[in-house]
Amino acid sequence: MEPRTGERVRALEWTGEALRLLDQRRLPHETGWVEARSAAEVAAAIRDMVVRGAPAIGIAAAYGAALAVRAHAAGPAADWRPAFEAELRTLEAARPTAVNLAWALARMRRRLDAALVAGEDPAAALETEARAIHDEDVAANRRMGALGAARLGGRCAVLTHCNTGALATGGWGTALGVIRSAHAAGLIERVYADETRPWLQGARLTAWELVQEGIPVSLLADGAAAWLLRQGGVRWVIVGADRIAANGDVANKIGTYALALAARRHGVGFMVVAPVSTLDPATPDGAAIPVETRAAGELLACGGSPVAPAGAGAWNPVFDVTPADLVDVLVTEAGVVERPDRARLAALLRAAQAGE
């Protein structure tokens, strides 16, 4: 599969027989691919951070479901459906916070049900659906890029956190897609990228993507962000999301909440960019969002080398929740919402569903 026009970076590609995943653990110094030929291998790649970013995780899971039905669909569905569902439960458990994963698998289940009723080939139906999810994500990212860039209010510097680009999505990116689109329109003076401990997605991935695209980027330690905002010159903090609750609370990479607080204190706009699939109307507010906690070793070491004394413990939540009242603008492919709250998000979802 050739890269789509205007994209030098891609995280995953479907070969027709397997899912190829750019191994993001090896970037920026090595470029290597992992090939997944089963749902279990896709789940392992999601769990082990070969692929990460909520939209990319959802797309990978969709292809995993396609691989699962290909492996099991022989004879009456009653005979193989339990094994297929077990594979999907393994995929669902790989990363619990990103709602796109559950959303994509629910969509694949619905498509399978429809295929069985219609007497279609289940494997062909699910492969086509996974490709559609992938293509729709790229189109949504392009739309969000244009909508978000139009809200910047002129040429400016921006700050972003974690990685929300082509590596985290089907292509182009969410928050980084806005930055790509804004740069193409001459609106970006400089991008400041938090390093994003402990996996250093900002240092290893965001900075790498921006260098590939020729977009000026400066890396900063996570703890320097508030001081940077106090200096002036940064007009927007632009971030993605892994789940947005019904009331507008936003789960995203740990450190996002601190950025939102600092942005509000210093009069800097705070923009969240996420596809409609990231909105979770079944989760009433941020308190109900499951926040994944990962192994202490990820925090106690960096690049495999210990950075803390033996015997020290660690608390390693990999997401936090930003209250909706700290979000100035939510950008989705279905439209832009200022000061998102329960009523405005419900209206957005109704409009999105009506447009399907």
Using DSSP, state whether 159 is helix, strand or coil: strand
Q: Which helix (H) or strand (E) holds 110?
A: helix 99-118
Best CA proximity match to 167, nearest among 211, 125, 115, 222: 211
Q: Among 137, 242, 280, 320, which one carries the catalytic annotation?
A: 242
- Across 168-205, b (16+ Cβ under 10 Å) vs e yields bbbbbbbbbbbbbbbbeeebbeebbbbbbbbbbbbbbb
Query: Cα(257)–Cα(182) distance, rounded to whole angstroms?
Result: 24
| Cβ-contact 97, 76 below 8 angstroms | no
Query: Cα(90)–Cα(335) distance, rounded to whole angstroms?
Result: 34
Query: Cα(37)–Cα(355) distance, rounded to whole angstroms?
Result: 35
Best CA proximity match to 336, nearest among 148, 94, 210: 148
**242: annotated active-site residue:** yes
Residue 120 one-letter amino acid = E
Q: Which helix (H) or strand (E) holds 126?
A: helix 122-149
Terminal CA-CA length for the chain: 27
Structure tokens at 187: 């609106």
Query: Cα(329)–Cα(309) distance, rounded to whole angstroms?
Result: 42
> Known catalytic residues?
242
